[in-house]
Amino acid sequence: MNPLTVRAMMLVFCIWMVSCVSSCSEVLYYFNKQEAEAKITKIYEETHRGRHIGQHISYRFQHAETDEFERGGFVVDDADAINFAVGQTIPIEYRGSSPALSRLKGTNNSFWVTIFLVSSVLMIGLVAVMSYLSMQEEKRSSRR
């Protein structure tokens, strides 16, 4: 087997593993999300290492199962921030009781899911090509 092919397969396999783990939370969101109405409590400038990133929208919502109030937030760019105001009610979706597991309704993070699907197709393609080349090599060696 060609060493370059083995390296390519190992690289695709590593990407596949990372994307598989990273896309699990998005799949869990798809199946286990709950919807709620949240009230915006604060809007402030978000910075990272002194650089402006955007506007942080903080909100508060009531958890359906525990009836406790949870806090969450997300960052939007300045152009989108004008669509939000303190006291406004917005639809959100959440999973579990952690504020890190809530987000604006309709927001999805399909980057890792896409990488997972593409790397799966690449792995299947590499295995198919390797099998085909192996069969061709066997046919050539049996004719000799």
For residue 100, name the pLDDT band (cuts at 50, 70, 90): low
Indicate the average pLDDT of the chain: 86
For residue 115, give the DSSP letter. H
Q: Is the pLDDT score of 11 beyond 90?
A: no
pTM exceeds 0.75: no
CA 55 to CA 46: how far, in whole Å? 5
The one-letter code for the residue type at 122 is: L
In the chain, the amino acid numbered 109 is N
Say yes or no to pLDDT of 99 above 70. no
- pLDDT of amino acid 38: 93
pLDDT tier at 103 (50, 70, 90 boundaries)? confident
Looking at the chain, the whole-number percentage of residues with pLDDT higher than 70 is 96
Averaged pLDDT, 17-28: 84
Find all residues with CB under 8 Å of 74, minimum gap 6, and list them: 56, 57, 103, 104, 107
The answer to whether residue 80 scores a pLDDT higher than 70 is: yes
What are the tokens at 19? 């994307």
